[in-house]
Every structure is written in structure tokens, then in C-alpha cells.
Amino acid sequence: MDKIVRINMGTEGGPEVSIGPLGDYAGFGGRAMTSAIVSKEVPPLCHPLGAANKLVIAPGLLSGSNAAMSGRISVGCKSPLTGGIKEANSGGQPSQMLGRLGYAAIVLEGKPTDDTLYKVLINGDGVQIVADNSLKMLGNYDLVGKMKAEYGDKVACISIGQAGEQKLSGASIAFTDMEQRPTRHAGRGGVGAVMGAKGVKVIVVDDAGMSKRSPANPDKFREANKTFVAGLKKHPVTGEGLPAYGTNVLTNVLNEAGGYPTRNFSSGRFDGASKISGETQAEMENTRGGEGSATHGCHKGCVIRCSGTFYSKNGNFLSKQPEYETVWAHGGNCGIDDLDVIAQLDRLDDDFGLDTIEMGATIGVAMEGGLANFGDGAAAINLVKEVGQGTPLGKILGSGAAVTGQVLGVERVPVVKKQALPAYDPRAVQGIGVTYATTPMGADHTAGYAVTANILGVGGNVDPLRPEGQIELSRNLQIATAAIDATGMCLFIAFAILDQADTFQALLDVISGFGGNDLTAEDVTNLGKSILKMERDFNAQAGFTNKDDRLPAFFTEEALAPHNVTFGVTDEELDQVFNF
Amino acid sequence: MDKIVRINMGTEGGPEVSIGPLGDYAGFGGRAMTSAIVSKEVPPLCHPLGAANKLVIAPGLLSGSNAAMSGRISVGCKSPLTGGIKEANSGGQPSQMLGRLGYAAIVLEGKPTDDTLYKVLINGDGVQIVADNSLKMLGNYDLVGKMKAEYGDKVACISIGQAGEQKLSGASIAFTDMEQRPTRHAGRGGVGAVMGAKGVKVIVVDDAGMSKRSPANPDKFREANKTFVAGLKKHPVTGEGLPAYGTNVLTNVLNEAGGYPTRNFSSGRFDGASKISGETQAEMENTRGGEGSATHGCHKGCVIRCSGTFYSKNGNFLSKQPEYETVWAHGGNCGIDDLDVIAQLDRLDDDFGLDTIEMGATIGVAMEGGLANFGDGAAAINLVKEVGQGTPLGKILGSGAAVTGQVLGVERVPVVKKQALPAYDPRAVQGIGVTYATTPMGADHTAGYAVTANILGVGGNVDPLRPEGQIELSRNLQIATAAIDATGMCLFIAFAILDQADTFQALLDVISGFGGNDLTAEDVTNLGKSILKMERDFNAQAGFTNKDDRLPAFFTEEALAPHNVTFGVTDEELDQVFNF
């Protein structure tokens, strides 16, 4: 990973590819790379769909190596949804493959001079860009099918569906999984709209003939990796809960805790939760053929294996096993208790290229605004289909919850920095509320997953219903997360490294063994802090203030059942999160 | 004007009326009153459509008196369009009538518990509020017809159309004119959506039996008013240009100056300008019956008389004579050169209750986004009709240019603080560009009308194409304007008082004669400064920074024909506007 490929889409005579060394960006990976390039090269007040914005796709520091869990990828830009800096993170195959091809980042720049649509091919021979208007308004599934027919069944794709082509603020970027399906997404913040604005439909990655990246200190690396994997296997969350039921193991847990946002955040407990839980899903999958409830990784090198496959009633592949956030967003948040409906919505979102969290929250707001009744699955499916069809209503919904709320005149809109809140009510899980409010990303659970100590008893215990201790919890997690997001490691390793000192040390040794340096815990903390600082600085220059680090008023005004709590962390406390 | 009526729409058992003394707000009128109440009572981070926002309607300090030009009225709230403080200003009859009834402000508060629609009757007997769901989704014209039938042909109405009921961010509040038509609007910033969110369809004002407000020093007041009127009559703008052609006298002037924003701000000169100019309009009106091109005031007490009536080809009343801003917004800005089409659009906007500037800019953005071709009048009419019909597309457009741009993925969106720019291109009229960028209101020409010295040679001469002197010009005008907006005086008096020292002194004497005090020029300046300070403070607490005091990037990047200029005032200079 010693080079960066830049594709200028705005040059006269067509796109121009240039491949250069890392320069100032040497040593950066994943989120550190995307946030460094965006904060250094993108004017904070530029239009997100304009020539000055850049779309940066960066494998992690360890991607392409033998390190377990190292196949995550970061996508960065100025977000069309939030107006601030964005890093959206995805699994799938492209990260490892780009790593092996030696690319530390793909940077799409400039603004096309017309509406020609392009595909990019990256392989061992270099980078090729080809106009192909036959791809226009294809869904991700058809598109990937076409690329597979054209380039073979070993390539990976990075692509946008109809939503990204329409430049909608809820558009995602899809990354193909091990089964060559477009099921893993850099979902948040409208990154797909920026790819659409650059006129790039798909990046096909082919690592044929490439080898895995070699560690600087192979013995240390191999040993540490073994210990690291063993640590993941022995932790109850990464060794048992996630492999058994996937991320949807959380439905019963959050519902039990009274922190499961129901019907547009109007209650913390959903009467239909047991019908859509991970346990119910596993039972159902076991009766429907395919591999049943057996799980697998979203990328090669994953040892947690929390992904699965969802088959329809008649035994045909329908979608990946919907993740907890998706099951919640399209399920409880919309009053829908039918896994088949939820899986159809998941499939539509993946196909159109939409963030499932944003879309579920948006449908919830649309239901509150009277476009459909809570619980009406058929209506929800029709609403999401509008986005793919490009109707005016579809364009509203595809623009996300904040725009939908404004257009429909709805007051209760669960967003921070215009990005929809994920699947944990901040009143009953106050630590995650601090993260939602303060992360530079807009409401994002992955930016500092305080559900750990609030609900799961991981990394300590902090009472989820009270404000005490949440600032420190969120701050430490946000710092650690930013660093993990730089490595290309899956965030789920956090469960084990928070609880098990030897697993954390093993992680440090994996990184040191790979890089040939001697990383300390303090180095990791400093890396996390420096990433957050870049991101906060960008947002400040884009006009963000501490007034943007707030939850919508209804979380402090309306008490949440069943615990009858409001969000209790004060504004003054929120302003302390980044005092480090 | 010694009382404030507050109507709490959120009390259980229905709305509650309370009438009280002015208290802390004694001495305030118009914009001083609305901005004082909003900044003191509305939490800056509240949702604009929620219980905590307030809609304040306030006649000016002199409204209801014999002072010439004193019939303007201010509407204030937290804006659903900008998210900041808003004062929108209108003519019409209600201001003088409320003044005579003794009300310094109407304040609508709280949030209705259901979707019942109310009408409010204010007369000499007090204030009555009545549920009337038969008014739902009436246009302003039908609504006013109904009120006239019910309450007689002497009442005035303050009302919302379908846009306000839908709580759209482009919704205006209509004020009936001397002909009892809903043609005068507090247009900007979505104030109609706030009235809609309060569940109030119409406020009927009946001043039967009331007398004009008496001055404290009748002789001084009478003499000063005479001098003041004479001053207005002798100035070429207020004594000749405006009475002859209405505000549309500006079309040829701005087009000639190369500052007439054409086809979504892509050129400064419109080839069809002469077809829609004030001169052409007057000629046309003279052939169509009615009063021809004769003008009249928008409210009793006006001596400038820049309003008129527009008759269709077959001689029937169609709309008021469209104002310059409307002729531009729906005309040149959309490439439309047909006054009949423009007048139909004006009528639709007035009927649905929409800001014509926001709607024209929005249609321009929609045309850029491919929804219609520039110049296609029939398409523009159909697009605006969608708003009245409440279709999804109508809800997008009715939410204004910023939302429309986001939903359609359009980059060139002419807004500041999400409010659409009016009819002067900031590249060729750089002083007004400073006002657009910096006024707390979002892009608003009336907040500091630098067209005076930039183009009209009023109050001095400042080269419109260069940055020099624009900061001082805009600053002084913004201060003076805030003060004028407090008096209830029409802003057009500025032409005469800027050029004629005796007319300015006469204005001071009118105010002093009325109030029995001894007002100096410095007092006026201090009043203006204090209003701006309140407004800027509110916005800062709502999260605004100097990054919000900027024009969209394309004004500094794309040169404007025919002068081939970009906006040259630097960010550092813009940050100096409020250094006073």
C-alpha cells in the first residue's frame, strides 16, 4: 500500500488517472487516511456535490494482510447529508483486495463536464476508466451481475445504485461480499451521492496475481495474531453471541433494557420484538434451506462471522441476514414485526444503494407525518420502492429523515447534524446519546459504542439511565474507535479488547509486528485523538458549533417508557467530551 | 397600542386568550417588538414548528396614527426556512387597524393538541377564537371571500393558504389590501408554516368604532408629517418612478446595469427584459380596462402609491400588479418573458400563501435540475399548482430552493442561510451581496438595500462592481432599516431620507411629535443597532457562525456576464459588517 490513485473526473476530454506515492499521507489507513485527505484538500464550505469535494476510499492499515478482522474499508468526503466531514465504514471484499494491489486510497476528484457514467477497473495492470451509459439506473444487484459476467467471478465491486445516481443524501456505496453480492455498505451520510456526483457507477477491483501483504516482523505478527484470534473466540460477545445470531442478537437485549426505539422513538419497548429477534430469525432460517442460521464473515479474514443469509419463505435467496440496525430501523421503529417484510426492505435498500438506518428512520418520520400507518409493511415497501423509481416522493424519502421531516412538517425528527439516530434510544442508553450528540459524524452508534458499558457489561458498567459517567465513557470510546477505524479492523474487536488486556496487547503486537515498529497503548490513543481533532476542525470551519452537538429537544422533554426517563446529560457536560 | 394579546393554542380544552400590558416591551413596535419577543421568549434551539416557537405579529410604532406611510406590519418567529430569527414585513390594512384597536402585538403560542383549525376575531369587544374546520385547505382568496361574507366588507384578514396549512418552509402570511384582497404578504422565511403549526387559519381584524391614535404633540406631528410627505413627493424615486410604474420600474434599470439575475443566476442580463418591464406593464394595463396603469397604496396612509392591479387579457381582475421581485423571480430568473404568465404565478402564490421570491428561485433551481425548461411558462404554472394540491412534488417546491436543490441534487442553489436570493445579482451589485450574506434574516434585499448607492445614485454612489465601500454601505443601511422597520413605516421612505436631510429631520419630528419625546438621529441609529444585536445573538445561540455569513461559492467562482465579474468582498471584510 504505497500508492494513491487519483481520478480527476473534471478534466476536459474525459477523466484522468494519476497514481502517486503516499507523500504526506504515509502511515495513514482507513479513517485516518480519509479524514486526513478530506480535511487537508476539501474546502469546508464547498458544495458536497461540487467539483471541490473529493470521495476518498481507503483500506485500513492492515488490510490485505493476514491479520484477522482487517478487511474493513473507509469512505470519506464532505457529507451531503450533514454538511460536515464523513467517514462511512464497510465490510466486504474490496478492502483486502485493494490492500494487496497496493492502493492506500482511491480519490475521486473534480466534476464531470457531462452526464456520462463511468466504470473503473483496478487490477494488477493499473487503473482503467471506461464510459458505460448502459449502466444507468441499474440497481446494485443487476450491476454486479453485469460486472461478474464481464470481469469474472473473482472480482469485487464498489458501486452505487439508483439512489447514488440521483445524488440523494441517503445514498450508500455498496461493497460486494464473499458471495459477490452487493450487501455490505458504507451507508451513512450520503457518500453514494458524492460518488454519483463524480459520475462513477462502479469500481471493479481484481487482485488476480497479487499476494498478501507481508509483515515486517513475521514471527511477532503470526504469534500476536494467534493470541488475538484466541481472545476474540473466548469473549462471550465475539465468540458466542455474534456468531450464533448475528448482530440481531441485540433485539431482545435492547428491548428488555427498554432502550429499543419504537414507532419513531415514541417508546423504548416494542411489543413485536420477539417476532423479529435474532433468536426467532435463526429458527426461521433453519427451516428455509440454504445454510440455515450458520453465519460467515462479511470479508475474508473475519473470525467473528456475524453475517448470514436470508432466504424467502419459498427457499430462495432474498438478502443478506438483515443486521440489527436494519431489523430495528425497518422493524420496531416502523412498528413492523415481520422479518420477511424487513428482509425485503433490506434487499431494496441494498439494491437501490440506500443507508438502511437512514431509510428506516425516514419511513418512521413519514409514518408520523401520515404517509402510512405504523406497522404497515406493504406501505413501507412501496415507499422505499418510490426511491428506486425516482418519483418526487422517492426523492424526498431518499434525502433522509431531516428533509422528509421538513417537507412533511413533522416536528419529531430523530436526527443529529441531520443524520438519523440508530437503534438505541438515547434516553435509556445515555452513553450512546452522548456519542450521537457529539461525534463529528452526526448521530452514529459506531463512533463510540457506549452500549458496551451501558447495556452489555463490557468494559465496565455505567448505569444507562443516568447521566453520570457517560461523558468519559463516550469520550474514551470515540478516541479508541477512531484509532480502530484506521487499522481496517472490524469495530467488533472492541468487545474483546475492552474486556481482555491480553487481547488488547495482542492487537498492539499485530500492528507492531506488521509495521515493524513498537506501538503502545498511548500511541493508539494519540492516533484516535488526532483523527477526531482533524474531523472537529473541519466541521468548525464548515460552520458547526457546540449547538450542533445536541440531541433534538424531544429527547429531553418527552419521557420514554418503560423507564420514564429523559436524556439527562447537560449541554455543559456535552461540551466537555472533546476536552482532551 | 398599550396591550399585547397572547393566544395559547396548546392549552387543554382549547385555545386560551389573554390580554396584558406591554411590560418590558413598552416602546417597541414592528421589528423591534417581534425581535424582542422572539429573542427573549423563544429558545433558539427549539423546533420552529413546535410548542416553544411563537408567532408575533406587530404593527409599527406609528401604525394606526395619521403618520404617512405607517401601515407596515412585522411578523416574527424562529424561521422554519433558515433556522434563525425572522422578521417578515408586509403592507395591507391590518397594521393600521390593529394600531387603532390598541394592540401592539398578537402572539400565537403553544402547540395544538389536535388538528382543529381556528379563526380569530379581533374587534373593539375583544378577542374571540372559534374552531372552523370548514376553512381547511382553502386558498387565501376563497378564505377572504368567506370572511367578508361572514364579517362584512370592512374587516381585514391575516391568513394562510394551503402552503401554511401544510407547514411548508416557503409559506407566507397574507394581509388584505385596501380592496380586501389577500395580496400583501409577509413572505419570507416560512412564517406561514408557523401560523399553520399553531392551527390558526385566519385572524379577522375589525376596527369599527375605533379612532386613529392621537399624537402627544399634535401641532409638531401635523407640521412634520406635512414636510415629510412633501419630501417624499419631491424625490424622483418616491415621487415619480414608483408611482408611475410601481416597483417593476426596476426591471429595465437592473437589466441595463447587468445585475438582473437570469436563468438561475447564470447571467446578469435577460434578453426578454423589455417584455416584462414596468414600462411595458403600464402600457399593457392601459389597454385592459379597470384603472389601467394608475397606482394606489397597499395600505391607507400611503402617499407613494406603488401598488397596482393586473387585469387579464379579457379584462378581468387577475392579481395585484406583480412587484418587481415577483416579476423577476418568476420571469427573468426562470427565463419567462410573459407578463400574463407571471401574473398568473403571482396569483397562485398569493392564493396558496407562498413567498414569490422563494418560489421563483425554487422554480429556477427545479429548471436547472431538469424538471422543466427555462422559459416554459406553462410548466412553471403547473409546478406551482402542485404546491396547492399538496402533492409530493409540491411539498418539495413549497419547502423552498435549498430543499429543492438538495432533493434534486442541484449544486447551483442561490441561497444564504437557506433563504433564496432576491432580484439583484451580488456580483454586479456587490453592496446588496454584503447584505444577503450578513443580514441575520438570510438573503434579503430589504434588510439593507444597497441598490440605492450601487445603482440608483441615492444616498451617494458606490461602484457596484467593486468591493470597495460595500461593507460600510451595507452596515449603515442595515442599521437604518432595522430602525425603520420598527416604526411601521414603508422602507421606501429611505430613498427620500437618504438624499434629503430635511425629510429625514421631518421623519424624526413625526416620531417625536407622536411620542412626545425628542428623538435624534443617534437614537435612531442606536435603535437599529440594538435590534440587529438581538437578532445576531439569537442566531448565534441557534448555532450560526460567520460561516453562515457567506454567499454560495459559485458567486465567487463563476464570472457574471455582461461585466464578467465575481463577488469580490472577502470573508474577512464580511466579518466586519457588525463591528459597531
Q: What are phi and psi of A77, to 5 degrees?
A: 180, 180
The amino acid occupying position A255 is N
Name every chain A residue with its beta carbon within 8 A of the beta carbon of B408: 395
Show the cell assigned to A500.
Answer: 481482555
C-alpha distance from residue A565 to each of A114, A272, A451 (Å): 53, 22, 17
Best of A407, A538, A567 to disrupt the B interface (most B CBs within 10 Å) is A407
Q: Is B392 on the interface with A (CB under 8 A)?
A: yes
pLDDT of residue A84: 98
Chain A residue nearest residue B417, CA to CA: A543
- Would you tell me how many other CB atoms lie within 10 Å of the CB of residue A501? 11
Best of B391, B411, B412 to disrupt the A interface (most A CBs within 10 Å) is B411
ipTM for the predicted complex comes to 0.95
- Residue A82, helix vs strand vs coil: coil
The b-or-e profile of A420-454 (16+ CB within 10 A means b, else e) is bbbbbbbbbbbbbbbbbbbbbbbbbbbbbbbbbbb
Say which of B406, B545, B552 has its CB closest to residue A403: B406
**Does the pLDDT value for residue A102 go beyond 90?**
yes
Which residues 300-359 of B are in CB contact (within 8 Å) with A?
none
Calculate how close chain B gets to A540, using CA atoms only, in Å. 9
Name every chain A residue with its beta carbon within 8 A of the beta carbon of B396: 392, 395-396, 407
Name every chain B residue with its beta carbon within 8 A of the beta carbon of A543: 544-545, 547-548
CB pairs under 8 A between A and B: 87
Is A403 in contact with B403 (Cβ distance < 8 A)? Answer: yes
Chain A residue nearest residue B399, CA to CA: A407
- Residue A334, helix vs strand vs coil: helix
Is A553 in contact with B50 (Cβ distance < 8 A)? Answer: yes
Name every chain B residue with its beta carbon within 8 A of the beta carbon of A168: 407, 409
Say which of B49, B406, B552 has its CB closest to residue A409: B49
What Rg, from alpha-carbon coordinates, does chain A have? 22
* Residue A162 forms part of a structural domain: yes
Is A406 in contact with B80 (Cβ distance < 8 A)? Answer: yes
Q: Is B80 on the interface with A (CB under 8 A)?
A: yes
Rounded Cα gap, residues A43 and A538, in angstroms: 9
Say which of B49, B403, B547 has its CB closest to residue A542: B547
Is A395 in contact with B407 (Cβ distance < 8 A)? Answer: yes
Name every chain B residue with its beta carbon within 8 A of the beta carbon of A542: 547
Say which of A193, A392, A550 has its CB closest to residue B409: A193
- The tally of domains found in chain A comes to 1
**What are the tens digits of pLDDT across the range A196-251?**
999 999 999 999 999 999 999 999 999 999 999 999 999 999 999 999 999 999 99
Q: pLDDT tens track of chain B, all 580 residues?
A: 899 999 999 999 999 999 999 999 999 999 999 999 999 999 999 999 999 999 999 999 999 999 999 999 999 999 999 999 999 999 999 999 999 999 999 999 999 999 999 999 999 999 999 999 999 999 999 999 999 999 999 999 999 999 999 999 999 999 999 999 999 999 999 999 999 999 999 999 999 999 999 999 999 999 999 999 999 999 999 999 999 999 999 999 999 999 999 999 999 999 999 999 999 999 999 999 788 888 899 999 999 999 999 999 999 999 999 999 999 999 999 999 999 999 999 999 999 999 999 999 999 999 999 999 999 999 999 999 999 999 999 999 999 999 999 999 999 999 999 999 999 999 999 999 999 999 999 999 999 999 999 999 999 999 999 999 999 999 999 999 999 999 999 999 999 999 999 999 999 999 999 999 999 999 999 999 999 999 999 999 999 999 999 999 999 999 999 999 999 999 999 999 999 9
Chain B residue nearest residue A553, CA to CA: B46
Chain B residue nearest residue A197, CA to CA: B409
DSSP B86-148: EEEEE-SSHHHHHHHHTEEEEEEES--SS---EEEEEETTEEEEEE-GGGTT--HHHHHHHHH
Is A52 in contact with B553 (Cβ distance < 8 A)? Answer: yes
* Among B317, B318, B320, B325, CA closest to B308: B320
Containing domain of residue B181, as a range?
3-205
- Would you tell me how many other CB atoms lie within 10 Å of the CB of residue B20? 9
Q: Is A409 on the interface with B (CB under 8 A)?
A: yes
Calculate how close chain B gets to A337, using CA atoms only, in Å. 28
The amino acid occupying position B552 is P
Q: Is A548 on the interface with B (CB under 8 A)?
A: yes
**Does the pLDDT value for residue A184 go beyond 80?**
yes
Q: Is A545 on the interface with B (CB under 8 A)?
A: yes
Q: Is B166 on the interface with A (CB under 8 A)?
A: yes
User: Does the model's pTM come out above 0.90?
Assistant: yes
pLDDT of residue B452: 96
**Does the pLDDT value for residue A411 go beyond 90?**
yes
Calculate how close chain A gets to B225, using CA atoms only, in Å. 46
Show the cell assigned to B379.
Answer: 410548466
Is A411 in contact with B47 (Cβ distance < 8 A)? Answer: yes
Q: What is the CATH number of the domain that holds B8?
A: 3.60.9.10
Chain A residue nearest residue B403, CA to CA: A403
Calculate how close chain B gets to A253, using CA atoms only, in Å. 32
- Residue B196, helix vs strand vs coil: helix
- 3-state SS, B438-500, equals HCCCCCCHHHCCCHHHHHHCCCCCCCCCCCCCHHHHHHHHHHHHHHHHHHCCCCCHHHHHHHC
Do the beta carbons of residue A348 and residue A372 sit within 8 Å? no
Is A553 in contact with B49 (Cβ distance < 8 A)? Answer: no
Q: Is B197 on the interface with A (CB under 8 A)?
A: yes
Rounded Cα gap, residues A393 and B391, in angstroms: 9
Calculate how close chain A gets to B253, using CA atoms only, in Å. 32
Rounded Cα gap, residues B206 and B320, in angstroms: 23
